[in-house]
Structure 1
Amino acid sequence: MLHPDVAELLEALRGLERLLFEQGINTWAARLKQAADNIEKSDAYGLQQFLSMFGGMGSLNDLILSQDGKLPIEENEQLNSLRSKAWSLANNLRREIL
């Protein structure tokens, strides 16, 4: 059984993964899936994989969803919420491990 914080992180990561696949952002979705799969197996490398997606140009932080040249407000709010929640949880877990 996973620690509740790990389970919550996985829920956020899987939500991000689904959202990005639905939006056709398959490269990011696949990277999130790989990190989530590792975390689900209690492999701390998954935390590193996920946290390394932030920072620098072209990072997950920079991602904004668009459809037909328009910015879908609801989907971008969901992206921001899940991304922030996942980053916060992963960062806290990393601190606990180190």
Structure 2
Amino acid sequence: MKDEIKKTVIDIANVLSSNDEESWAKTFEKLGSELDSDCESSIFSLRKLYGGMGSFNDIILHKDGIPLIRENDELDELRHTLYKQLDRAINLLKTSKNLP
């Protein structure tokens, strides 16, 4: 579980970094490295990136005001993969702690 999430997080950071989204890339790099020291907290922190205005869901990669179709498609696929992985991990955590 953790290794799958970490790989996806690294892939997301690479896509973001390659497309001038350094701030977001650093956020994912930081949370990815924190998976090793505090996996549970990092999982919940990653999940929080998906909500609200200006969230990870709102990122559109572009160059000179023109959306980058291939790069956005790749990011969108990774975004959905990570969400599913996090959802699964959170459900496992809740089950292991007998939480609703």
Q: TM-score if structure 1 supplies the norm length?
A: 0.89
Match of 2:67 among 62, 66, 71: 71
Question: What percent of counterpart residues are identical?
Answer: 22
**Cα distance between partner residues in 2 of 1:14 and 1:47:** 14
**Cα distance between partner residues in 2 of 1:38 and 1:48:** 11
User: How many residues align structurally?
Assistant: 94
In structure 2, runs of 5+ residues without a counterpart are 95-100
Match of 2:28 among 1, 26, 32: 32
**Cα distance between partner residues in 2 of 1:88 and 1:73:** 23
User: Offset of 1:16 from its aligned partner?
Assistant: 0.3
**Cα distance between partner residues in 2 of 1:55 and 1:42:** 21
User: Residue 64 of structure 1: SS of its match in structure 2?
Assistant: coil
User: Offset of 1:24 from its aligned partner?
Assistant: 1.2
RMSD: 1.1
In structure 1, runs of 5+ residues without a counterpart are none
Larger radius of gyration: 2
